Amino acid sequence: MPRALDPEQLKALVAAIEAGDSQAEADLVETFGRGIALLLGRHARRRAEAEDLYQDTFRLAIQKIRAGTLHRPEQLPGFLSGLARNLAIDHYRKIGRRKTDTAGDALPDVRSPAPSPLDRLEDAENASLVRQVLDEMPSARDREVLMRYYLAEQDRDALARSLGLDAQQLSRILYRARQRYKALYLARFGVAALLLAILLVAYRARRR
Amino acid sequence: MDYAEVEAQDLVTRYDRGTLSAEEEMRFEAHLMNCPETQEALVYARSLRRGVRALAAEDALRASAAGRLVRLHRRPAVRVGLLAALLLLFAAPLLWQLRTTAPSAGTVSSPHVVMMSAMRSADDPSTIVDLGSVDGEAVLLAIDPGDEPGIETYRLTLENADGAPVFARDGLRLNALEVVMVRVPVARLRTGAHQLRVDGVTVDGSRAELARYPVRIVGEAGRNGQ
């Protein structure tokens, strides 16, 4: 697993980019690409949009760092996440404005896209793993916990209260389920699959 | 923020669900950039959540298809069709290939699942079904039917405000998630207040009402362009 950068390393990275070191720019993308891809996975509605926003984030970040506008290098992670987030917000605001301009009082299109073949395949694989996790769970109550937590998205505290569990018992059930899921995931797809999943967006964006 | 705080406050799941406050979300995202453990946890949380939803959708589609078969097989003319369907099973690998390259309606991916449970917010006891956010042609209802013993199957009836049934399904069973899943075509739904009635059917065929869930249908179907 990659390691987090400490404040000194962050300062050195920013200083190198300010000095025009192209290797440092590549290191920036290498180090923070996964985090940006995951963040955009939350804010972008389509894979293609996430890929574009990913590229825009690093392009703009490098421009700003080169220009010396990042005064506190130790805040580089927050600077990058804020940039990506704001770009995503701006992107959808523009789409909303365009739709409003062309369709009177129509609201912006906020739907998710139809699932791609890749999404379908991933969902089928994920479902198969979850079925295995459920089959191995020792009690109906544990299965109910998983269902209510992930399907009904019920709040932890309310869920624990309704099932007569304390917070620790609930955490243990969820922890066991997650660990088992992780083990099955790795057993089925191999360790490389995890890195691939994290880096998918990053790889695609860099390839283009 | 560190990973211990992320774990203790369940921030990964809350972020993935979109239930953090704006300030919490910004703090979490700044942390996410430089924490490989949190990144890994987020990957698994997303995968697990999608897996649970996809599994629920698969079960609902299977139950729906089984219900149709039970009704159809009573007609002699349909038996020939069923034989043909069995033959088609041998072509399943080919169909799978087609399925992965040609998206179609009624897929199991990214289902719009609505959970019906006795646990509702005190502010709004109704379950909200927003047609505007449905991507496919159907809404999947996941119903927690309670712990009544001796129940063999369930019947679900969605009634409008006048008490008239707008959708009903018999012969449903608990799935691996301990819920009853049913696929309701969007075309059958209209906005307004409804009640979902859950009946339990015992082995001897007797039927009793187990629960009623208030449902409020809002939004406009088809806004998503499907």
- Partner residue facing B30 (CB), from A42, A78, A129: A78
Q: Do B44 and A81 touch (CB under 8 A)?
A: no
How sure is the predictor about A173, in pLDDT bands with cuts at 50, 70 and 90? confident
Closest residue in B to A40 (Cα) is B29
The per-residue pLDDT for B149 is 75
Instruction: State whether residue A91 is helix, strand or coil.
Output: helix
Cα separation of B42 and B48, whole Å?
10
At residue A8, the pLDDT reads 92
To the nearest whole percent, how much of chain A has pLDDT over 90? 32
Mean pLDDT computed over every residue of chain A? 79
pLDDT at residue B38, as a whole number: 94
A105 and chain B: CB distance < 8 Å anywhere?
no
Of B13, B18, B58, the CB nearest to A127: B58
Position A181 pLDDT exceeds 50: yes
Question: What does the alpha-carbon distance between residue A53 and residue A83 come to, in Å, rounded to a whole number?
Answer: 10
Yes or no, beta carbons of B48 and A181 under 8 Å apart: yes
Chain B residues with CB-CB distance to A61 below 8 A: none
* Residue A51 backbone phi and psi in degrees, to 5: -65, -45
In this prediction, residue B68 carries a pLDDT of 47
Question: Pick from A125, A131, A150, A145: which is nearest to B53 by CA?
Answer: A150
B51:A182 CB<8 A: no
B26 to chain A nearest CA, in Å? 7
How do residues B55-74 score in pLDDT, each as one tens digit? 877 776 665 555 444 444 44
Question: Which range, A157-171, B20-34, B47-61, has the best average confidence (pLDDT)?
Answer: B20-34
- In tens, the pLDDT along B187-216 reads 888 899 999 898 988 888 888 888 888 888
B chain contacts of residue A146, beta-carbon cutoff 8 Å? 52, 177
Can you spell out the DSSP letters for chain B? --HHHHHHTTHHHHHHHT-S-HHHHHHHHHHHHT-HHHHHHHHHHHHHHHHHHHHHHHHHHHHHHHHHHHHHTTSHHHHHHHHHHHHHHTTHHHHHHHHHHS--SS-SSS--EEEE-S---SS--SEEEEGGG--SSEEEEEE-----TTEEEEEEEEEETTS-EEEEEEEE---TTSSEEEEEEGGG--SEEEEEEEEEEETTS-EEEEEEEEEEEES-TTTT--
User: What DSSP designation does A5 have?
Assistant: P
> Of residues A55 and B129, which shows the higher confidence score?
A55
pLDDT at B158: 92
Contact B34 A144 (CB under 8 A): no
Q: Is A7 on the interface with B (CB under 8 A)?
A: no
What's the predicted TM-score (pTM) here? 0.61
Q: What does the alpha-carbon distance between residue B122 and residue A162 come to, in Å, rounded to a whole number?
A: 14
Instruction: Write down the pLDDT at residue A51.
Output: 87
List the one residue out of B77, B14, B189, B35 whose CA is nearest residue A1: B35
**What average pLDDT score do residues A192-196 get?**
54
- Provide Rg for chain B, Cα atoms: 21
pLDDT at A85 over 90: yes
Q: Do A197 and B47 touch (CB under 8 A)?
A: yes
Quote the pLDDT of residue A83: 95
Mean pLDDT in residue range A155-168: 83
Question: What's the rounded Cα separation, in Å, for the pair A12 and A74?
Answer: 10
Interface contact B110-A154, CB threshold 8 A: no
Burial classification of residue B27, based on how many CB atoms lie within 10 Å of its CB (0-12 exposed, 13-18 middle, 19 or more buried): middle
pLDDT at B143: 79
Residue of B nearest to A148 (CA): B115
- Determine the residue among A87, A149, A151 to mutate to test chain B binding: the one whose Cβ has the most chain B Cβ atoms within 10 Å: A151
For A102-155, write each residue's pLDDT tens digit: 554 444 443 344 556 666 677 777 788 888 888 877 777 788 888 778 877 777
Cβ neighbours for A97, distance < 8 A, ≥ 6 positions apart = none
- A156 CB near a chain B CB, below 8 Å? yes
Of residues B66 and B46, the one with the higher pLDDT is B46
pLDDT given for residue A106 in this prediction: 42
Can you give the pLDDT at residue A49? 84
Percent of chain A with pLDDT over 70: 77
Scan residues 117-136 of A and list those with Cβ closer than 8 Å to B: 117, 119-124, 126-131, 134-135
Residues 75-104 of A with CB under 8 A from B: 75, 77-78, 80-82, 84-85
Contacts of A41 in chain B (CB under 8 A): 46
pLDDT reading at B48 higher than 80: yes
Query: Measured between beta carbons, which residues in chain B are less than 8 angstroms from residue A197?
Result: 43, 47
| Mean pLDDT (chain B, rounded) | 72
Contact B54 A162 (CB under 8 A): no
User: pLDDT tens digits, residue range B68-125?
Assistant: 444 444 444 444 444 344 434 433 443 344 343 333 322 333 446 666 655 444 455 6
Q: Could you tell me which residue, B144 or B75, shows the higher pLDDT?
A: B144
DSSP secondary structure letters along A44-66: -SSHHHHHHHHHHHHHHHHHHHH
Interface probe, candidates B13, B48, B101, B151, chain A, greatest A C-beta count within 10 A: B48
